[in-house]
Amino acid sequence: MGDVWAALGTAEFAHIVGLSLTVSLSATAIAAVIGLPSGAALAICRFPGRRLLILLANAFLGLPPVVVGLALYLMLSRSGPLGALALLFTPSAMIIAQALLAAPIITALTHRAIQDPWEEYGGALRVDGATRSRSIRMLLAIARSSVLTAVLAGFGRTISEVGAVLIVGGNIASYTRIMTTAIVLKTSEGELGLALGIGLVLIGISIAVSASAFVLWER
Interhelix angle 91-128/65-76, nearest 10 degrees: 110
Interhelix angle 179-188/11-44, nearest 10 degrees: 130
The residues of the shown chain that bind another protein, judged by CB under 8 A, are 18-19, 21-22, 25-26, 29, 32-33, 36, 77-79, 83, 86, 88-89, 91, 95, 137-138, 140-141, 144, 151, 170-173, 175-176, 185, 187-192, 216-217
In whole angstroms, how close is the CB of 88 to another protein at the nearest point? 6
Sequence-distant (6+) residues with CB within 8 A of 133 are none
Cβ proximity to another protein: between 138 and 202 the closer is 138
175 to 95, 146, 181, 218: CA distances (angstroms):
13, 35, 12, 36
Cβ proximity to another protein: between 22 and 58 the closer is 22
Rounded Cα distance, 89 and 165, in Å: 9
In whole angstroms, how close is the CB of 51 to another protein at the nearest point? 26
Cβ proximity to another protein: between 59 and 172 the closer is 172
In whole angstroms, how close is the CB of 52 to another protein at the nearest point? 27
In whole angstroms, how close is the CB of 63 to another protein at the nearest point? 22
